[in-house]
Amino acid sequence: MKKEIDISEVPFEDGEYCVFDFETTGTSPFNDRVIEIGIVKIKKGKITDTFQSLINPEMSIPAFITEMTGITNEDLVKAPTFEKIFPEIEKFFGSSVLVAHNFQFDYSFLKSECKNLYLNPPQNPSICTVQLARRLYPELKSKSLGILVRHLKIRHRNVHRGLGDSMATAKIFIKMFNLLRNEHNIETISDLINFQKTPGSALVYRIIKKKLADDLSSLPSSPGVYFFKDKREKIIYIGKAKSLKQRVSQYFLNNAPKKIKEIVRKAERIGFTPTNSELTALLKEAELIKIHFPHYNTMLKQYSKNYFIKILLTHNAPTAVQTNDFFFDGNDYFGPYSSKQTAKILLEIIDRTFRLRECSDKEFSKKKKCYLADIDRCLAPCVQNIDNDYKNELDLVYEFLAGENQWAVNRLLNRMKELAQKQKYEEAANVRDLVNEILHQIHKTSILAEPINKAKVLFEIRGYNSPDYILLINGKMTIKNEMKLENDDFTISLQDYFNGSIFRSQDLDKNDLEKLKIALNWLIKNKESVRVHYLKDYNSIEQLYAAQIFH
């Protein structure tokens, strides 16, 4: 038997995990057998390796299993038996933490197959993504793989196949990392293993300190920022919540992470500031942490990656590139897009549809015409002065990224006809696929139709009691404060905009950049709670208010 692995202090995001899934002849580990395994290895939050094999069950497969999986008896004739494949499985698992969706089901088959061969099953630590989902997504009625991939917008290929299902589970698990870290303060693998136990089975701490108990009972269910104070009234931890009462109550659960238990032991009082929405709570949290520097807010909060299309205005003959971050650096950024694949497809559409250069600055400086110019895919600004034509082409790219797709579709359709006439059917089919991507509205997956750094918009955020209003002008964000009815920054910024006196993005600092990054990360994940009002559609503050946007 393997020696138990000491994982108590390993940061959970640095851990190594093997996500596995079995396809079987039925649902009983005593009577049925394994016919396929798929394993996905995760290291430091990234998928690094996969393993897949059909397995000969040495019995016939029921017809309904073939219909569901596509695996036939003929497919398994030359497949290895479990006895032959097990050493490879065990080697691939190594000392990693084992993960599965409904772990007990898959592990019961693993134990049964090992028992039949008088082998010891792996004793690695384990994580069940169904149990994690119960804690992280209580609003979902079902925690099935299909429901979760739709909820988290994950592409699930090869459904009901070992590697397809384990890959989907791995992506779900990685998506959970941000919530585990930022919402539930999970730090180590042992924290994570304890956390997966459902709250219903967790005994609540007996709160000995009466003031803590009184503070906890007084918390509202609204969004907001909460803070724990020590006996000297010093703030030792700050957090944000969609529901203050529900979130802070979790600090007193028996299976709370080690760090949380320590905060509770040190704390004497709980304070809070309510907000209208989770977004304004996030922004308030970041602001207060910078003011108070609480001892237990040691980990700089990280947010899930977003992706952008960057227009390199600071380069000769600007071109478009894909990036996973943005800055106030003189370039224009469209996005964010929550999926790397979306940004990649958008960039491919731009490259294949519009005649901007695609070469590096080094190649461009050589002033040599390339083959892309010969096939009319580039205007060749490297060898001729075509500033006006190039600017017009760039304007068309901006229109496309802003949601205007007809011009791009027309150009691609004409190109597809030309290729078909030349009997270049494969190339024509590729162009057709790009047209389909456009028609699927892929370019409208961003929250904004203007470059982020130049956007002039009013965000209306669905709130707990009333909406929140956030103004974004050239990268500067201001929040409407209901407590200040006049001469507040929000109103002044609006007045400046309509008076034609607005600041430039180069006047902004790193705090403005951080606030915008926090907001965009939240907005792209909560688009259904957001309305975007473009200030260019209004001629005055009076017209904006007359539109009855403000409630």
Tell me the catalytic residues: 160
β-sheet bridge partners, residue 477: 472
Identify each DSSP E strand in 61-132 by its residue range.
Answer: 97-100, 126-128
Coil, strand or helix at 139: coil
Q: Which residue has the tokens 């007990």?
A: 104
**Rounded to 5°, angle at Cα 87 from 82 and 88:** 90
Residue with tokens 């162009």: 431
Q: Phi/psi at 480 (nearest 5 deg)?
A: -70, 125
Classify strands 530-534 and 456-461 as parallel, antiparallel or unpaired. Answer: antiparallel
Helices 340-353 and 425-439 pack at an angle, to 10 degrees, of: 120
d(CA 403, CA 368): 34
**Separation CA 536–CA 448 (nearest Å):** 14
SS3 call for 431: helix
* Distance of alpha carbon 361 from alpha carbon 357, whole angstroms: 10
Q: What's the Cα-to-Cα distance from 363 to each of 138, 367, 368, 484, rounded to whole Å? A: 53, 8, 8, 55
215 and 271 in contact (C-beta within 8 Å)? yes
Give the Cβ contact number of residue 495 at 10 Å: 12
* First-to-last C-alpha distance (Å) of the chain: 65
Which residue, among 7, 88, 19, 10, has the nearest Cα to 47 in the 3D structure? 19
CA gap 66, 77 in Å, rounded: 14
Burial 427-462 (b: 16+ CB within 10 A, else e): ebeebeebbebbeeebbebbbbbbbbbebebbbbbb
Two tokens at 9? Answer: 């202090």
d(CA 49, CA 430): 30
Task: Please identify which residue in the block is written with the tokens 């009972």.
Answer: 217
Q: Angle at Cα 125 formed by Cα 122 and Cα 130, nearest 5°? A: 110
Q: Do residues 127 and 188 touch, judged by C-beta distance below 8 A?
A: no
SS3 content of the chain, % helix, strand, coil (to 5): 45, 15, 40
**What is d(CA 485, CA 397) in angstroms, rounded to the nearest whole number?**
41
Query: What's the rounded Cα separation, in Å, for the pair 107 and 226?
Result: 40
